[in-house]
Structure 1
Amino acid sequence: MAFINKINSDINIGNIQNKNNKNDSGNFEELLKKELNETNGMLEDAKKAETDIATGDVKDLAKASITIQKAELKMKMMLEVRNKAISAYKELLKTQI
């Protein structure tokens, strides 16, 4: 029970901020490029894991499976970001000046 209380006390919903990105200038373009590069790296790792599984060179099947699943989730997230950006762009095109 103490573990649950510790988790709940650490969460501050009113002021959510990514501790890893405190030094970012808030530039969306840089953040998007960083995320795309990270996604690309994860996809390359997943492709290598798939190749290792297919050839039988995999040392830890669970770790390879997790790598593939992480890459899949990251790709889905990036696709949703793309879809939202396209949707916002289309909405801007509908705006009359």
Structure 2
Amino acid sequence: MAFINKVENTNNIGNVVNNKNKADGSFEDLLKKELDTTNNMMQNAEKAEADIATGKVEDLAKASITIQKAEMQMKMVLEVRNKAINAYKELLKTQI
């Protein structure tokens, strides 16, 4: 039981912030922020790919990591989209 209380009192776990006392954040704001982040990461990845192709890259490992991070972020956004579409379809099946 002490472990559960300890987890509940944690305000920040990784990038997830405990918002149970904050009413200012909404799912829409979170979604917009993540889409902006994804867009910026994809632009950085495209720049890194262009630098690799032209030979202007100074650190190949850093460019590779940038591309992989953007790819993972895009996969996460696509999964959220898929889950939202599936939830919408389930709501359409619901009878009133």
Q: TM-score, normalised by structure 2?
A: 0.79
Q: Kindly indicate whether residue 52 of structure 2 is the aligned counterpart of residue 63 of structure 1.
A: no
The match for 2:82 is 83
Q: CA RMSD in A?
A: 2.4
Higher alpha-carbon deviation: 12-21 or 72-81: 12-21
Q: TM-score, normalised by structure 1?
A: 0.79
The match for 1:49 is 48
Give the 3 Å change call, closer, same or farther, for CA 91–18 of structure 1 in structure 2. Answer: farther
Please give the residue correspondences for 1:15-34 in structure 2 after superposition, counting only pairs within 5 Å: 18=12, 21=17, 25-34=24-33
Deviations 1:24-71 (A, max 9, x none): 723000100000000000000000000000000000000000000000
> Share of identical aligned residues, percent?
68
Letter in 1 for 2:50: T
Structure 2 regions of 5+ residues with no counterpart? none
Structure 1 regions of 5+ residues with no counterpart? 1-8
Considering fraction of residues, name the structure with more helix. Answer: 1
- Matched residues in 2 for 1:68 and 1:54: separation? 13
- Matched residues in 1 for 2:23 and 2:53: separation? 40
Letter in 1 for 2:94: T
- Matched residues in 2 for 1:70 and 1:80: separation? 15
Deviations 1:62-94 (A, max 9, x none): 000000000000000000000000000000000
